[in-house]
């Protein structure tokens, strides 16, 4: 599996670690968990940690678009953590598809990403 989920802050923050290439099966695992957390806690804050990430398989990209449309306003803050220029560009590309505040952080600044998610301190 290319996705690992970890709840933080009593379920208000979800850390999503992705590696390799996301597949349709990853969304079958990830989406129900996130939707369960939304029912329990309302809007979420998400840390999307990309480690040796290679993007999406075609069907998974469609899954991602459907997810974004359905949950347009359900994520309050999205911290994207990576180490590649295209990953940073992806954080800009995502902005029209959500009402979430989005910030990109290099892997060396992962702790700052968590602080920003928790308290809004740091990047804006």
Q: Each residue of 49-66: pLDDT tens digit?
A: 999 989 889 999 889 888
Asked whether residue 3 carries a pLDDT value surpassing 80, the answer given is: yes
Interval 62-72: pLDDT, tens: 898 888 888 88
Pairing of strands 44-56, 75-82: parallel
Strand spans (E) along the chain:
3-8, 13-22, 44-56, 75-82, 101-106
Measured in degrees and rounded to the nearest 5, phi and psi for residue 43 equal -55, 145
Domain ranges of the chain: 3-62+69-119
Pick the CATH number of 3-62+69-119 from 3.40.50.10600, 1.10.3720.10, 3.30.70.100, 3.40.470.10: 3.40.50.10600
pTM for this model (two decimals): 0.85
Strand partners for 15: 6, 47
How many residues are present in the chain?
A: 124
The CA distance from 70 to 22, in Å, is 19
């Amino acid at each position: 599996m290319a996705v690992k989920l970890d709840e933080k802050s009593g379920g208000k923050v979800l850390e999503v670690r992705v590696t390799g290439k996301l597949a349709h099966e990853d969304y079958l695992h990830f989406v129900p968990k996130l939707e369960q957390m939304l029912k329990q806690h309302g809007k979420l804050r998400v840390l999307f940690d990309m480690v040796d990430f290679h993007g999406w398989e075609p069907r998974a990209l469609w899954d991602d678009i459907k997810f974004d449309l359905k949950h347009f306003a359900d994520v309050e803050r999205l911290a994207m953590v990576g180490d590649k220029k295209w990953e940073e560009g992806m954080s800009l590309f995502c902005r029209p598809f959500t009402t979430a505040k989005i910030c990109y952080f290099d892997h060396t600044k992962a702790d700052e990403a968590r602080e920003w998610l928790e308290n809004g301190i740091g990047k804006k």
